[in-house]
């Protein structure tokens, strides 16, 4: 099974991604985690994207595709993947779709985690206190949510039109979110 998990910052993609990947035996590929690891390791790619990420902007398509697609294609050859936080724009989705279709690695379903803005901000700022992530400060959070609204939110219609979208209420307890996702996928919770 190949799944995409999309949603605004703070919607629970990381939490649900970990849970679903473990439950379904999929490789969890978290775009943000992979990028933050590149920055922390000060790789050439990490140095290239550090400032972009600190401002809460989108990493250029060519960079994110070169980082993720080899991992996606390898995972699809195994048990499948759960891709969390990618694509972030319709253009990324179109480009990734071309590459995935050529390799027989297209997603089977897209889960959209939907939550009210005030809940997203509360979660992100609470996470910042616990994890100390540099990209979780109030100014960057506002910018990340604005970027999501402009670039990523159109993915909802893109995937709905392709018949792949499942919208989940992400404002509920994480256990209920997991149960709802599994039900939408036709998997026993």
CA–CA distance, 141 with 137 (Å, rounded to integer): 6
The catalytic position among 36, 144, 160, 183 is 144
Six-digit token string for 125? 């700022």
Q: Is 133 a catalytic residue?
A: yes
The yes-or-no answer on residue 36 being catalytic is no
Query: Which one from 19, 36, 88, 123 is the annotated catalytic residue?
Result: 88
Catalytic residue status for 144: yes
Q: Is the peptide bond before 87 cis (omega within 30 degrees of 0)?
A: yes
Is 117 one of the catalytic residues?
Answer: no
Choose the catalytic residue: 23, 71, 97, 127.
127
**Among residues 13, 19, 36, 123, which one is catalytic?**
13
Residue of 71, 97, 133, 160 marked catalytic: 133
Rounded-to-integer distance, Cα 102 and Cα 88, Å = 21
Q: Catalytic residue at 127?
A: yes
Name, in order, each residue with C-beta under 8 angstroms of 138's C-beta and a sequence gap of 6 or more.
Answer: 125
Q: Give the active site residues.
A: 13, 88, 127, 133, 144
């Amino acid at each position: 099974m190949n799944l995409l998990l999309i949603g605004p910052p703070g919607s629970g993609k990381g939490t649900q991604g970990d849970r679903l990947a473990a439950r379904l035996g999929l490789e969890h590929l978290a775009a943000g985690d992979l990028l933050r690891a590149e920055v922390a390791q000060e790789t050439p790619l990490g140095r290239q994207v550090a400032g972009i990420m600190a401002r809460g902007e989108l990493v250029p398509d060519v960079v994110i595709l070169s980082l993720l697609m080899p991992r996606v294609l390898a995972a699809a050859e195994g048990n499948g993947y759960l891709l969390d936080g990618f694509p972030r724009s319709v253009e990324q989705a179109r480009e990734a779709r071309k590459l995935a279709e050529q390799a027989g690695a297209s997603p089977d379903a897209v889960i959209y985690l939907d939550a009210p803005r005030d809940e997203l901000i509360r979660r992100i700022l609470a996470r910042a206190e616990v994890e100390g992530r540099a990209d979780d400060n109030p100014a960057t959070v506002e910018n990340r949510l604005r970027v999501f609204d402009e670039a990523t939110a159109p993915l909802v219609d893109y995937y709905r039109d392709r018949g792949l979208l499942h919208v989940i209420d992400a404002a509920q307890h994480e256990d209920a979110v997991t149960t709802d996702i599994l039900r939408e996928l036709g998997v026993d919770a």
